[in-house]
A and B are shown apart, each in its own frame.
Chain A
């Protein structure tokens, strides 16, 4: 099976409003093919909304989301996969059938699903019901399900947010390993700045629905979290996030004249 090349991503002045409330305001974002981009920010800053726009689950009020791959748009969409904070496994299908969701039920695809499970460290758990898995195992199944279709763009919405620190570290390493091996483009949304700096090529700070700053992370992989370049990068990103006037309310963080309230 040939791997799908990473899909480059391009967001141009993307905004999203719900009613009169502005969720995202003029967001520009680019990801090169195979790049790992992390989006960090406080809760309510629009991280998840941004990811949903990229996934095509929501449509932007204005602006364009472009997946710049060869081929027509619908077929490109077929190579986008998303892992949610809750694993979203179908409780009435066994692990193996969850991984093979949306794939033809033949021997080739079954073998691919078994391989994907083995890759995330769940060999031998194919016939289990999701109900008996732990939180970390469920998230690994979700990851296997996202990987089995050989995605060109993987969207991760705080997939490790509900896991304990040990399991989280383990799944992070796993994720990094698979990403290096497969070269898909990745957008990771997280509130954990350490996680973002450990995994991403670039960290985008989102505040009040806008891109507040971008930080290239140019450290060799796998990254040692105890070195001083690492910790100083984490401190820098944290500093930028905290420096947004300390406000999470868009009308206070955005300069006058550019808020929605002044449009109407």
Chain B
């Protein structure tokens, strides 16, 4: 059936619509009289990108944003993971903590921006805190759900085979909760960029958000659109990384087994 050619064609499939859109965009802007000032053509954006890459600004700002995003994710996600595991496994901890967590969860974290700026100023901590707050809850909720949904029969079986608490956690609880944790991670990645964008546009002196805001002041629409595209690109990269992690860590899942089985054969 020519599975190789088929899968190559399938690889192109997701990119057909974006490429067609960009081409249409270029043509429309080129043809419209005097529309250039507000809507830059893709070629102009590419030129702006080349200019900023050469001056080193693009890389600098993207790197700063990425650092903030990952640091926030590590802090918030780590805390969410810890709380989810503890509360999922230990009913007493859940009784003690879950109500408080749920109350904090229901405050839209972006509403805290004015307060965070007052308390932490315009420096790095305020942005990282906002990202951490944003990613904490999707990770927490999904981790908790993951631990809860582990078949108690498996725990019983592990117990019968003489597994202690540590081994039970490593061999049954954590791997059992992992698919759900990874779903939480993918949600968290979305929230991570959202929080960062908002935080960077309101108060910052570096990062992609800063690039966009200063471009607005000088009516550089090409740089503005470029920064939006940068967010899209970074978001896509993060999501792909999460998908890769899913394939790597839950390859045992029958759903993955089915889709990856033909590819695994020579």
Contacts and interface: CB of A to CB of B under 8 A. Distances in A.
Contacts of A81: 160-161
B257 A57 contact: no
5 contacts: A81-B160, A93-B171, A93-B252, A129-B251, A130-B252
Given A80-B160, A101-B161, A131-B252, A88 B257 contact: no
Q: How large is the interface on A (under 10, 10 to 19, 20 to 34, 35 or more residues)?
A: 20 to 34
Given A86-B153, A92-B178, A78 B252 contact: no
Given A57-B156, A84-B153, A91 B252 contact: yes
Residue among A84, A88, A149 with max Cβ neighbours from chain B (10 Å): A88
A92 B178 CA distance: 10
B201 to A, nearest CB: 42
Interface residues of chain B: helix, strand, loop or mixed (majority): helix
Interface string A67-105: 000000000001011101010101111100000011000
Given A57-B156, A102-B163, 6 more contacts: A80-B160, A86-B153, A92-B178, A92-B250, A93-B171, A101-B158
B253 A84 contact: no
Contacts of B252: 91-94, 129-131
Residue among A78, A91, A94 with max Cβ neighbours from chain B (10 Å): A91
Nearest to A82: B160
Nearest to B167: A102
A90 B175 contact: yes
Contacts of A163: none
A145 B257 CA distance: 23
B167 A91 contact: no
A90 B171 contact: yes
Contacts of A130: 252
B170 to A, nearest CB: 11
Interface residues of chain A: helix, strand, loop or mixed (majority): loop
Interface in A172-213: none
Residue among A81, A129, A130 with max Cβ neighbours from chain B (10 Å): A129
A88 B160 CA distance: 12
Interface string B228-259: 00000000000000000000001111100100
Contact of A131 (B163, B175, B257): B257
B154 interface: yes
Nearest to A97: B171
B257 A132 contact: yes
Contact of B162 (A84, A92, A102, A145): A102
Contact of B154 (A90, A94, A149): A90
Interface string B171-199: 11001101000000000000000000000
**The 3 residue pairs across chains A and B that have the minimum distance between CB atoms:** A102-B161, A131-B254, A92-B175
Interface of A: 55, 57, 78, 80-82, 84, 86, 88, 90-94, 101-102, 129-132, 145, 149
B74 to A, nearest CB: 25
A158 B101 CA distance: 43
A103 to B, nearest CB: 8
A131 B253 contact: yes
B157 interface: yes
A90 B160 contact: no
A58 to B, nearest CB: 10
A189 to B, nearest CB: 15
Interface string B46-86: 00000000000000000000000000000000000000000
Contacts of A91: 252-254
B160 A57 contact: yes
Nearest to A55: B160
Contacts of A101: 158, 161, 163, 171
Contacts of A132: 254, 257
B167 A92 contact: no
A181 to B, nearest CB: 22
A88 B162 contact: no
B91 to A, nearest CB: 19
A136 B154 CA distance: 19
A14 B207 CA distance: 71
B160 A92 contact: no
A88 B172 CA distance: 11
A90 B170 CA distance: 12
Contacts of B154: 88, 90
Contacts of A84: 153, 157
Interface string B143-174: 00000000101101111111100010001100
A236 to B, nearest CB: 34
Contacts of A55: 160
Residue among A86, A93, A101 with max Cβ neighbours from chain B (10 Å): A101
A101 B163 CA distance: 8
A78 B164 CA distance: 13
Contacts of B171: 90, 93, 101
